[in-house]
Amino acid sequence: MTDKHFAHLLPPSWKNTLHTWFAEDCPSLDYGGYVVGEAPLTATLYAKTAGVLAGVPFFTEVFEHVGCSVQWNFSDGDVLGEGEGEGEGGGKMKVAVAKVSGPARLILLGERVALNTLARCSGVATA
């Protein structure tokens, strides 16, 4: 994996945008976070269709904002699904792209904002 440093390209206003998105996503009590609690957890991000990975700095910043860490198996601009093909018995592609570690409630808090951003960026890059 080559390390492409695009995080420095995030505009200074990005943190303000994050605050706005979190306020929209969780305007009051985080019921899901209350249920899952503070147990340490590692969640795996899988790609299920081929495409270009884009938005890594945004995804990482979202989780760092809530106090979680992200370990990437691929870099921004990498093509996912090349050579992976179908799984055993004609199953669908499933590639582990990254792992997010932190308290369960914080992973849940950042999940939707991070995934929406990554999906949008990757969709545009793939199109």
Percentage of the chain surpassing pLDDT 90?
Answer: 50
Q: What are phi and psi of 50, to 5 degrees?
A: -70, 150
Predicted confidence at residue 1, as pLDDT, reads: 46
> What are the boundaries of each domain within the chain?
12-84+92-126
Alpha-carbon distance of 78 to 52, in angstroms, equals: 6
Task: Give 44 or 36, the one with higher predicted confidence.
Answer: 44
- In the CATH hierarchy, which fold is given to the domain comprising 12-84+92-126? Aldehyde Oxidoreductase; domain 3 (3.90.1170)
Buried b / exposed e across 78-104, counting CB within 10 Å, b at 16+?
Answer: bebbeeeeeeeeeeeeebebbebebbb
30 CB contacts (<8 Å, ≥6 apart)?
Answer: 105, 108, 109
Q: Vertex 113, ends 108 and 117: CA angle to 5°? A: 135
Q: Taking 60 as the threshold, does the pLDDT of residue 26 lie above it?
A: yes
Of the candidates 74, 9, 1, the one whose C-alpha atom is nearest the C-alpha of residue 44 is: 74
Q: Give the pLDDT confidence score for residue 96 in this predicted structure.
A: 96
**pLDDT tens for residues 47-91?**
999 999 999 998 998 999 899 999 999 999 999 986 655 544 455
